[in-house]
Amino acid sequence: MLKTIATACAVMLLAGHASAADTFPARPVRIVVPYAAGGATDYIARTVGDRLSKSLGQPFVIDNKPGAAGAIGASEVSRSKADGYTLLMTITDSQINNTALYKKLAYDPQKDFAFITQVVRSPALISTHPGTGIKSMADLKAKINAGNAKLSYGSWGIGGQGHLAGESLNRNLKAGMVHVPQRGEGPVVSDLLSGTIDLGVSSVASALQYVPSGKIIPIAVMGSHRSTMLPQVPTISELGFKDPIYDANVWIALLAPAKTPQPIIDQLSKEVRAIVSSPDVSQVLIGRGFEVMNSTPDQFATSYKTEFDVITKRIRELEIEAQ
């Protein structure tokens, strides 16, 4: 009798999930971006959201919730109803870095989210502007070694991948640079263009459009290989700097609250991956400096576990804490 009841309940649960997927989406879907408008994450969210609206027949609305290295927006999504109507488009930082950065976090990145897909990755780029007189890493070293150089560097948030890379370089060079955190990559690029900061760490995608005009001067790219869009810029490893954080991925991914019905997760993953792999979208993304990932939920979960230990360990070693 009990076995029969349990079987019936399981069948009803599966039927409920199937029904939810069959009718999803029946109303507008909100994609929370935990960073300011104008950056790479915002761009990917709007690109994907616009095409999801067309393919699924309901508006996918982008809602920017910047602050606390992505924690504010991520926390809001983690508390949302697990029905597929509130999603999170974010980067590595809010889902890995924040666990080591904050002693108390309002959400658990490892338990409170369901993986949908890693859309793209964008190598981090160290850049400067013409006003500094720096055109290469050699110039930066010479300026520091000459003494009396009061330099600053900006990143998209305290404890983020950009901050970790910048601080690792800062200590390696014994430069004493002041960190200027921002609420996203867009403001970092704006600070570079205005000369508010001397160096900036952003994604290739955010800075790329200003490189041909010379308004932004790239001096090194993170990762194991050069950017296909900036092949003339050496990797930081080529320049003799070694740190596992330089090879960690800065990905942009779509997630949902934990316990979102699996059929909805699978549907969203399938739709997004079809959008990103289509020639008209993939070529635009590549042209803007992104590398298409298009992972399945299982692939996303596997790579997440691998990167989690590397990144959180490095944050603790650098003794970086939230302010």
pLDDT of residue 79: 97
In a domain, 177, yes or no: yes
38 band by pLDDT with thresholds 50, 70 and 90: confident
Task: Indicate which CATH number applies to the domain containing 128.
Answer: 3.40.190.10
7 band by pLDDT with thresholds 50, 70 and 90: low
pLDDT higher at 195 or 8: 195
In a domain, 218, yes or no: yes
Question: Are residues 113 and 254 both part of a single domain?
Answer: yes
In a domain, 140, yes or no: yes
pLDDT of residue 148: 79
C-alpha closest to that of 53 among 284, 312, 321, 275? 275
Question: Are residues 135 and 274 both part of a single domain?
Answer: no
Question: Are residues 230 and 266 both part of a single domain?
Answer: no
In a domain, 3, yes or no: no
pLDDT of residue 19: 57
pLDDT of residue 98: 92
pLDDT of residue 11: 52
pLDDT of residue 284: 94
Q: Distances in Å between the alpha carbon of 183 and those of 24, 67, 111?
A: 33, 6, 25
Question: Are residues 104 and 59 both part of a single domain?
Answer: yes
Which of 206, 226, 247 lies at the terminal end of a domain, its last residue? 247
Q: 169, 319 in Cβ contact below 8 A?
A: no
CA distance 208 to 287: 9
pLDDT of residue 147: 87
Residue 100's domain spans which residues? 28-121+250-318
Question: Are residues 138 and 238 both part of a single domain?
Answer: yes
In a domain, 281, yes or no: yes
C-alpha closest to that of 199 among 158, 150, 233, 146? 150
Question: Are residues 72 and 152 both part of a single domain?
Answer: no
Q: Tokens in use for 82?
A: 């697990």
pLDDT of residue 90: 97
pTM of the prediction? 0.81
Q: 320, 164 in Cβ contact below 8 A?
A: yes
User: 25 preceded by cis ω (within 30°)?
Assistant: yes
Tally the domains of the chain: 2
